[in-house]
Amino acid sequence: MAIELQRRGEKMMESSICSSELSPEEERLLIRDIVIAAESQCKEGDTFYLITQRWWQHWLDYVNQDMTTTTNDGTSHGSENYELAGSSALKRPSGIDNSDLIYDTKSEDSNIGMELHDTLVEGRDYILLPQEVWKQLFMWYGGGPILARKVISSGLSQTELSVEVYLLRLQLLMMPKGERATIRISKKETIRELHRRACEVFDLNMEQISIWDYYGHRKHDLMNNMDTTLDDANIQMDQDILVEVLGNGNDTAFGGCLSSVQENGSVEKESTSVLVEPSKSSLSIAGGLSASKGVSRSCSSELSQSQYVASPVGEVDNSYGISGVVTRGASGGLTGLLNLGNTCFMNSAIQCLVHTPEFARYFREDYHPDINWQNPLGMVGELALAFGELLRKLWAPGRTPIAPRPFKSKLARFAPQFSGYNQHDSQELLAFLLDGLHEDLNRVKHRPYIKSRDADGRPDEEVADEYWANHIARNDSIIVDVCQGQYKSTLVCPVCGKISVTFDPFMYLSLPLQSTNTRTMTVMVFASDGSALPAPCTVTVPKQGRCRDLIQAVSSACSLKIGEKLLLAEIRGHRIHRFLEDPLVLLSTIKDDDNLAAYKTPKFVKNTIFLQLIQRREEQESSSANSAMIWKPYGIPLVSPISRDDTITRGDVQEIVHTMLSPMQRVETLTPSDLPNRRVSEEASHPSRDVSSSGACANSAASDSTDEDQGDSKIAATSKLPLQLVDENNECIDLSTGEKKVINLSSSSTSIVVFIDWSDKLLEKYETHYLENLPEVFKYVPATKKARTEPLSLYTCLEAFLREEPLVPEDMWYCPQCKERRQASKKLDLWRLPEVLVIHLKRFSYSRSMKHKLETFVNFPIHDFDLTNYVAHKNSSRRQLYELYALSNHYGGMGSGHYTAHIKTQLLDENRWYNFDDSHISPINEEDVKSAAAYVLFYRRVKSEDVSVSNGAQSCAGQNNISSQK
């Protein structure tokens, strides 16, 4: 059928050199046939063309002006529907003019070319046409400019087809020159292509540069996996990319010029909006714009037969591209929000707030008397006015989807972090909105200064009421009335036992998703006596454990011998950053992307000093072909203890290094002289000192051998290793000569640093790949469908949030009794619950080089969420029951994702759940509300009769419910 239609179309195209020879009806039929043929062959890589909605609508009117259409139900729509200019015939359109889709002038950056307006919406501003349709229209009418876009795969399974309307716009920063350039590139292009484009822009060679993910002006990841796509690398719209020209021998090229760059930044990075939820149609729009069902992106036959070439004028303008519930003419509250370009996060958050009954009632009445125009912490009332106006529009009957541009403008003005068209976090926006609306609507015009008193043994009820009264005296708004609660915070000093109790307000609860109290950690284990090859060891330890727990677990896992102990070290920049010798160091100070090494060493008694062996290889000093070769550190350092009481010669160091490397020596190169006996060493107790820069010992010292060195050698000259020792004066000593010379050990030094220079010839003798890469403490792997995590109860998350835990070092507490800052333990209890309880599920995790999302399915109750057992204040006779009425969902991962909202509305005396997906609204069943995408939950207190909460009732209402949820 498709082939037949295609041939028919080709035949008509051959017989129609220009459109002037065809009637409007013939044009319509020809385009219809081309569409039917094209839709059956839609695939990844196909080209679609943008055409302005204004011109397209003119053409639709022209070809349909003399047509009587028949709908599916048999009703006729006469030509009166197309009576646009009285009884006169509509004129044939002039040439295609897409100028309203692009900026007036060409971008000053020649690397970009024509730029689309940032806020274009499909169906309102433009239509996407298959290539064959565009070619035919262009042949007939001409015009332009030509705006071609490719079909790409998207979604969780990468099987959904999307037209990538907005290519990634990346800001390239070349250092050290500081030059900048902007490029457009598809998210499906590889990092190799990004390297090529950067070289083209800055006139460089591929070998000259390193490229970094430079989000927030901090180095995150070195982009050196050339076959990875930019989508998989989590590269976002308008992101900064660092193009680093290779430098002059430092670990980081041009390190001096980039001194302000923080390589271990933890700036929260948001994701670009891409529809990943199963779509109603087979083709969507990539780049964060609204994905509506319609001709411009669907390859279904209904497009070509109805909306595509025979849509009534009155319908196209208002409801084009809206599927599911058409919001035009619907009841108040079922109004969608247009996506302005990656604003699905904002739309999701707004829909949850405007469907909070208390807020809907408040902002639809006269709230202006509450506006605090003089509050220095507020937004001069402008945020409250913008939100109130938007809420009224959304609740007004008979509304089409609304473009929240005025609100977004106010938001960007007072919160620049939400400006532009990158996607952001809906929870962060909610937090800002709740706080900003509170300040704008704070009824307290002049805040009194109130000093909080210590509890001093007073009853909790008295202290809590005092704290709350002090809070209300300074903060009184609709936000406080509805959303704020109070929890009890108990701090205990680990030294003097001082107990401090405070009662603090909260706006929402951020609950952790970890289902256990343990974490897995991977450590690379080395044998300093050369008895085994290096091997990674993964163990399970308490989350709030200490280094002694990790050492004990690794010791058991690697079968540590009697007389041995483990020396734990953190490795950074191919050197030992610190020895973790204090057994009480908290494991929480070790991040998932840190690198740890454990060295098996003998249990000595005293006077131990560590020999640190740092690997080096030869590299060019700069990108110039004539630049010198220098030795630069790489790989993993090795450690061996030696006794300060012993006399250590250069030959002894050669023996020690030979022993450490012996497991990696290739069998065919072994000789009897390669098997020396190790010198006995003694215990270590102090961390290493900082070693010299990468340029230390760059040039070997001159040979200083004497006649006494010509005697019997412990190690044959042919097997001597190219070792360079850095002495206490930071000078280099060549250890390949003067074997019997004694090495002077400083009494204050805790280690000696030795470099081994791996030449190509030496590398042939050893399997050094064991020393090249160190695993991260925890390597995050996204959850797959086959490896889903076990469901997690919301009650379990709440218990984890309320559990007593030690504070991290950054949050040390000042003990008034000790008069010092202490790393105290902290315990939280719910005390006063709000009318609306907002719960944030902490799905996103950030570290220096890793950004990922937890896909854990949380089993949250929709009805009868019972918090009675979790409230420390037991004087109330009412059960604390809540019911879910809204939630913000996040689909997809960090690199590409999409926000929607599930809302339970009370329209027409009907309680029903709806899915709010930007401008698209559709009813859903209650059982479909729960998913692993749930991100922010909105619960409303159940208004019920007072119920006795005796011990038995509490057990029935709370504990049984908890066990059933687990």
* Tokens read off for 895: 């690199």
Number of domains into which the chain is organized: 3
User: Phi then psi for 569, rounded to 5 degrees?
Assistant: -140, 145
Confidence of residue 593 (pLDDT cuts 50, 70, 90): confident
Boundary residue ending a domain (229, 245, 261)? 245
Whether residues 217 and 124 fall in one domain: no
Distance of CA 231 to the CA centre of its chain: 12
Mean pLDDT along residues 334-355: 91
Q: How confident is the model at residue 858 (pLDDT cuts 50, 70, 90)?
A: very high
Under 8 Å between Cβ of 332 and 396: yes
- For residue 155, pLDDT over 60 is answered with no
Q: What is the DSSP letter of 400?
A: P
Residue 54 carries which side chain, given as an amino acid letter? R
Average pLDDT over residues 15-43: 72
pLDDT at 837 over 90: yes
Nearest to 212 by CA among 187, 179, 241: 241
Which range has the top average pLDDT, 3-17, 38-52, 165-179, 479-493?
A: 479-493
Residues 135 and 191 reside in one and the same domain: no
> Is the domain of 45 the same as that of 173?
no
Give the pLDDT band (50/70/90) at residue 437: very high
With beta carbons less than 8 A apart as the criterion, state whether 121 and 338 touch.
Answer: yes
Domain membership flag for residue 269: no
- Predicted confidence (pLDDT) per residue in 790-800, tens digit: 678 899 899 88
955 — pLDDT class (breaks 50, 70, 90)? very low
**Checking DSSP bridges between strand 865-866 and strand 881-892, what pairing results, if any?**
antiparallel
12 within a domain of the structure (yes/no): no
Nearest in space to 682 (alpha carbons), one of 653, 642, 649, 652:
642
Percent over 90 (pLDDT), the chain: 19
CATH code of 184's domain? 3.10.20.90
- pLDDT class for 15, splitting at 50, 70, 90? very low
Name the 3-class secondary structure at 644: coil
pLDDT of the residue at 846: 61
In a domain, residue 603? The reply is: yes
Mean pLDDT calculated for residue range 479-498: 91
Q: Which of 535-544, 570-579, 868-877 has the lowest mean pLDDT?
A: 868-877
Question: Is there a single domain that holds both residue 731 and residue 592?
Answer: yes
Among 218, 205, 206, 207, CA closest to 173: 218
* pLDDT of res. 625: 65
Look-up of token digits 């920049």: 573
Query: Are the beta carbons of 386 and 407 closer than 8 angstroms?
Result: yes
Mean pLDDT value across the chain: 75
CA gap 901, 913 in Å, rounded: 10
What is the pLDDT, as a whole number, of residue 88? 52
Q: What is the pLDDT averaged over residues 52-77? A: 65
Specify the pLDDT at position 787. 41
- pLDDT at res. 159: 57
Q: Say whether both 564 and 653 belong to one domain.
A: yes
pLDDT surpasses 80 at 81: no
Q: Which residue has the higher pLDDT, 307 or 573?
A: 573
Residue 683 has pLDDT above 60, yes or no: no
Q: Are 230 and 189 in contact (CB under 8 A)?
A: yes
**Tens digits of residue pLDDT in 908-926:** 446 789 999 998 888 999 9
Q: HSE of 646 in the Cβ direction (CA atoms, 13 Å)? A: 16
Q: Mean pLDDT over residues 229-241, rounded?
A: 79
Given a cut of 70, whether residue 12 has pLDDT beyond it is no
Distance CA 255, CA 834 (A): 52
Is pLDDT of 890 > 70? yes
Q: What average pLDDT does this structure show over 580-598?
A: 86
Q: Which helix (H) or strand (E) holds 362?
A: helix 357-364
What mean pLDDT comes out for the span 172-194? 87
The candidate with the shortest Cα–Cα distance to 306, out of 67, 137, 141, is: 67
Q: Percent of the chain at pLDDT above 70?
A: 72
Between 941 and 163, the higher pLDDT residue: 941
Q: How many CA atoms lie within 13 A of 779 on its CB side?
A: 10
Q: Which of 837, 931, 924 is nearest to 890 (CA)?
A: 931
The answer as to whether 216 is a domain residue is yes
- The residue whose two tokens read 């950056």 is 109
Angle at 295 between CA 293 and CA 298, to 5 degrees: 60
pLDDT band at 728 (very low <50, low <70, confident <90, very high): confident
Lowest mean pLDDT among 248-257, 345-354, 538-547, 594-603: 248-257
> What does the pLDDT read at residue 740?
84
Give me the helix-helix angle, 53-64 and 24-39, nearest 10°: 120
Q: Show the 3-state SS of 820-859.
A: EEECCEEEEEEEECCCEEEEEECCEEECCCCEEECCCCEE
- Full strand arrangement of the beta sheet holding 148-154: 126-130, 47-52, 148-154, 160-164, 283-286
What does the pLDDT read at residue 429?
A: 94
List the end-to-end C-alpha distance of the chain, in Å, as a whole number.
55
Cα atoms found within 13 Å of the Cα of residue 883, Cβ hemisphere only? 11
Q: Is the pLDDT of residue 204 over 80?
A: yes
- For the segment 134-157, the average pLDDT, to the nearest whole number, is 81
**Residue 691 or residue 115, greater confidence:** 115
Q: How many residues are listed for the chain in this entry?
A: 966
Residue 595's closest CA among 617, 611, 573? 573
pLDDT band at residue 111 using 50, 70 and 90 as cut-offs: low
Task: Tell me the average pLDDT across 463-476.
Answer: 94
Q: Are residues 185 and 202 in the same domain?
A: yes
18-22, 129-133, 476-480: range with highest mean pLDDT: 476-480
Of 245, 268, 288, which marks where a domain is finished? 245
3-class SS of residue 887: strand
| pLDDT, position 847 | 53
- What is the distance between the alpha carbons of residues 195 and 217, in angstroms, rounded to a whole number? 19
Q: Given a cut of 50, is residue 268 above it in pLDDT?
A: no
Dihedrals phi, psi of 48, to nearest 5 degrees: -115, 155
pLDDT of residue 360: 93
Q: Are residues 152 and 188 in the same domain?
A: no
Q: Best-predicted range by mean pLDDT among 181-195, 293-307, 886-900? A: 181-195
Please give the average per-residue pLDDT across 843-851, as a whole number. 62
Domain range for 198 is 168-245
Same domain, 610 and 754: yes
SS3 content of the chain, % helix, strand, coil (to 5): 30, 25, 45
Residues 159 and 206 placed together within one structural domain of the fold: no
What is the C-alpha to C-alpha distance for residues 89 and 82, in angstroms, rounded to an integer? 10
Q: Exposure of 895 by Cβ count < 10 A (0-12 exposed, 13-18 middle, 19+ buried)?
A: buried
> Looking at the domain assignment, is residue 60 inside a domain?
yes
DSSP 3-state assignment of 317?
A: helix
Same domain, 176 and 146: no
Q: How far is CA 267 from CA 270, 864, 867, in A?
A: 10, 38, 34
Q: What is the mean pLDDT of residues 572-597?
A: 87
CA count, 13 A, side-chain hemisphere, 887: 25
Does residue 574 have a pLDDT over 80?
A: yes
Q: How confident is the model at residue 383 (pLDDT cuts 50, 70, 90)?
A: very high
CA 706, chain centre distance (Å):
62
Assign 672 to helix, strand or coil: helix
Same domain for 649 and 563, yes or no, is: yes
Number of H helices, E strands in the chain: 21, 43
Q: How far is CA 422 from CA 119, 166, 248, 272, 419, in A?
A: 12, 12, 36, 6, 8
Q: Find out whether 726 and 732 touch, Cβ atoms under 8 Å.
A: yes
608 in a structural domain: yes
Of residues 248 and 261, more confidently modeled: 248
Statement to judge: residues 652 and 753 lie in one domain:
yes
Report the catalytic residues: 344, 898
The answer to the question of residue 582 being in a domain is yes
CATH at residue 58? 3.30.2230.10
Q: Average pLDDT of 605-613?
A: 80
C-beta of residue 125 within 8 angstroms of C-beta of residue 101: yes
CA distance 756 to 733: 12
User: Is 591 within a domain?
Assistant: yes
- Residues 780/679, Cβ–Cβ less than 8 Å: no
Model pTM score: 0.50
CA distance 70 to 68: 7
838 contact partners, CB below 8 Å, separation of at least 6: 430, 434, 483, 507, 508, 509, 936, 937, 938, 939
Q: Put residue 520 in one of left, alpha, beta given phi > 0 → left and psi -120 to 50 → alpha.
A: beta
HSE, side-chain direction, 13 A CA sphere, residue 255 = 10
